Amino acid sequence: MLRIGDFSKLSRISIRMLWHYDEIGILHPECVDDFTGYRYYSESQLPLAGKIQALKSLGFGLSMIKEILGKYEDVQEMERFLILKRKELEGEAREIRQKLQFLDSTLKWMRKDGNLMDYNVTLKTLPERYVASVRQVIPAYDQEGLLWEIMCRELEGQNVQQAAPCYGMAIFHDEGHKEHDPDVEIQSTVVGTYQDTEHVKFKTVPPIQIASATYKGGYDQISRVNAAVANWVVENGYDFNGKSFCIYHVSPSDTSDPEEMVTEVCFPVKKK
């Protein structure tokens, strides 16, 4: 039998954590001396301690480790747990890459003076347009590509001719920002007359007055561009007057380099 200090050294688990493992039921002492309260572990428990440490190193939390330990010898169940963890870590890795990209973009922006009004805001009117449109609730804003895939797939057989400029854009219909399931519509201006499909609808869009700012680079800049446009709207005596949208002059379908993308952030406005 091993006293808790010796077991701690051999298992490389702190005494404090061994107490915690006992409390939550994943690793109990082999016995506890009724008189002294000393905790004793057996050498045969070291493999279990090793499994716990291995699962922790893979990123599993203690509640999940407790569940996994009951199925550790089931190869199929273990494979299922590991695949789920891999998908979770891949999602976290994507988030980290996005944060790093945002940090890099912010550093570049700060080195240019940190002036929000570096974004040139203009007032203009988009003309009346005949557009192909797809509107759906999607899982997240960064999955807007699902809508463009639908449009391309369903219009493939109609030889649709895009206008010049085509004003490829995304319109955000929710009242506020949505963490999940935003209501997004994409539009592309076309020339000619075409039949609606299951998801693609053709319609005429009236002219609209907008305040807009065009910038080059990744979508992580949008919050700063929004602030620049909002400042301009307030300072020039306008009110917001409709759903915001983005026009993609150079989109991810045109370049794989985020720094080469060109986006115009647009807010419908009216004079106070």
CATH number at residue 9: 1.10.1660.10
Q: Are residues 186 and 87 in the same domain?
A: no
Question: For the chain, what is the domain count?
Answer: 3
Q: Are residues 210 and 194 in the same domain?
A: yes
Domain, as residue range, for 110: 75-114
Q: Are residues 59 and 80 in the same domain?
A: no
Q: Are residues 8 and 35 in the same domain?
A: yes
Question: Is the pLDDT reported for residue 79 higher than 60?
Answer: yes
Q: Are residues 99 and 183 in the same domain?
A: no
Reported confidence tier of residue 13, pLDDT bands at 50, 70, 90: very high
pLDDT at 222: 84
Q: Are residues 11 and 42 in the same domain?
A: yes
pLDDT at 117: 41
Both tokens assigned to 98: 């996005």
User: Can you tell me the mean pLDDT for 19-45?
Assistant: 92
- Taking the C-alpha atoms of residue 23 and residue 14, their distance in angstroms, rounded to an integer, is 14
Pairwise pLDDT comparison (72 vs 52), residue with the higher score:
52
Q: Mean pLDDT across the chain, nearest whole number? A: 88
Question: Is the pLDDT reported for residue 115 higher than 60?
Answer: no
pLDDT at 114: 52
Number of H helices, E strands in the chain: 7, 13
Per-residue pLDDT of 229-268, as tens digits, reads 988 898 888 999 999 999 999 988 888 888 888 999 999 9
Yes or no: say if 183 and 174 are a contact pair by the CB < 8 Å rule: yes
Q: Are residues 134 and 261 in the same domain?
A: yes
Please enumerate in sequence order all residues whose Cβ is within 8 A of that of 72, keeping only pairs 6 or more positions apart, or say none: 51, 78
Q: Are residues 213 and 145 in the same domain?
A: yes
Per-residue pLDDT of 82-104, as tens digits, reads 998 898 888 888 878 877 776 77
DSSP-assigned states of every residue in 30-92: SEE-TTT--EEE-GGGHHHHHHHHHHHHTT--HHHHHHHHTTTT-HHHHHHHHHHHHHHHHHH
Q: Are residues 191 and 216 in the same domain?
A: yes
Pairwise pLDDT comparison (22 vs 107), residue with the higher score:
22
Q: Are residues 91 and 142 in the same domain?
A: no
